[in-house]
Amino acid sequence: MSKSLIKSQFGAAADKYATSRVHAKGASLGRLVELVKPKANWHALDVATGGGHTAAAFAPHVAAVIASDLTPEMLQVAAKVAKEKGLTNVTTAEADAEALPFADASFDLVTCRIAPHHFGDIPRFVSEVRRVLKPGGTFALVDNISPDEESTPGYDVAELSAAADYYNAFEKLRDPSHGRALGLSEWTSALEAAGFSVEHKERLPKDMDFQPWAERLGADAPTIDRLRKLLTEAPAAVTAFLRPREEEGELWFTLDEAIVISRKPAA
C-alpha cells in the first residue's frame, strides 16, 4: 500500500473524519474503553489516530496519550478535537504504523481503531506494537473485518474466500487506499504468531447509510453508481455479510467490526 496515497487521501478528507459519526461516536469506542479498563498511571499510544477520537476517549482514564498518524492533517484534527474536549494529556506524533518511532517497552497500552485495513504489512505492524508495549501491556484493536467462517457461517471455504475478495474490492473502489480487511480468525492467527495472548474478541455490527459512506472520500457519481450495483447485486455470501436493505427510501448496509484485546507476555 502506497504511503503517499494514504497521506494524500486522508489529508484531503481529514476534516470529515473529525465529524464522522462512525469514527467519533461508534459503538466500538465506548466498548473498547469498557473492555480495556485503563489505569490512571498508564501511558498509551493510539496508532493511526485519524480524527483522534480513540485517543480522546482514553485520555480521561490514563496519565498520557500519544495520538500518532502518518498524515499531518489528521494530527491537526486530532489536536483540535483534544483541545475542544479540554484534554491536556494528549500529544501528537507523526508515525508510520509499520515503523513506530518509539523506544522499546514505552507504553502500557496501544490502541488502533478502524485503520489496519489500510496497512500494507500487518505482521510488521503487529510486531511493532509488541515491541513498543511494556511487558504485560495491552493491545486493543478495532477494525472492519472480511467475511469468514466466524462472521458468516453456512458457506464453504471457497465461497467465503471469494466473498472476502469481493468485499475488499468493494471497499477499494470507494477508497483506493484500502489494503485488505482481515477476517476475525486471521486477526487471531496474526496476533498469536507475534507472541500475543488473545484475551477477548467480539464482533460489533455497524449500520452504514450508503450515500454518505460512499461520498466521504470524494467518490464521483459513476463510482457511487458502481458501488451501489456491487452492493445490491452481490453474491449470496457477500449479501449475508453486508445485509443491504432499504430504510425510508435510502440504501443501508452493515459492516462488522472486530474488537480484539490481546496482551504481551509479562516476561
Which candidate, 247, 205, 200, places its Cα nearest to that of 26?
A: 205
Task: Kindly report, residue by residue over 207-236, the tens digit of the pLDDT.
Answer: 999 999 999 888 999 999 999 999 999 999
Q: What's the one-letter identity of residue 93?
A: A
Task: Kindly report, residue by residue over 130-160, the tens digit of the pLDDT.
Answer: 999 999 999 999 999 999 999 999 999 999 9
Q: Is 24 a residue whose pLDDT tops 50?
A: no
Name the H helices within 112-156.
Answer: 122-132
Nearest 5 degrees, angle CA 11-CA 17-CA 22?
Answer: 150
Q: 134: domain range?
A: 3-146+177-207+255-263
Instruction: Please give the share of the chain, as a percent, with pLDDT higher than 90.
Output: 88
Say if 16 falls within a structural domain: yes
Name the H helices within 90-242.
Answer: 122-132, 157-174, 184-193, 210-215, 221-232, 236-242
Q: Is 189 a residue whose pLDDT tops 50?
A: yes
Say if 117 falls within a structural domain: yes
**Which pTM was predicted?**
0.87
Q: Is 98 a residue whose pLDDT tops 90?
A: yes
Say if 236 falls within a structural domain: no
Say if 51 falls within a structural domain: yes
Distance CA 121, CA 123 (A): 6
Three cell numbers at 241? 455479510
Say if 92 falls within a structural domain: yes
CATH number of the domain within which 13 lies = 3.40.50.150
Q: Is 204 a residue whose pLDDT tops 80?
A: yes
What's residue 217's pLDDT? 84
Say if 185 falls within a structural domain: yes
Number of domains in the chain: 1
CB 122, CB 94: distance < 8 Å: no
Q: Is 85 a residue whose pLDDT tops 80?
A: yes
Q: Is 34 a residue whose pLDDT tops 80?
A: yes
- Which are the contacts of 61, defined by CB distance < 8 A and separation ≥ 6? 33, 38, 39, 40, 42
What's residue 267's pLDDT? 79
Q: Is 10 a residue whose pLDDT tops 90?
A: no
Q: Is 55 a residue whose pLDDT tops 70?
A: yes
Say if 133 falls within a structural domain: yes
Question: Average pLDDT, whole number, for the chain?
Answer: 92
What's residue 5's pLDDT? 55
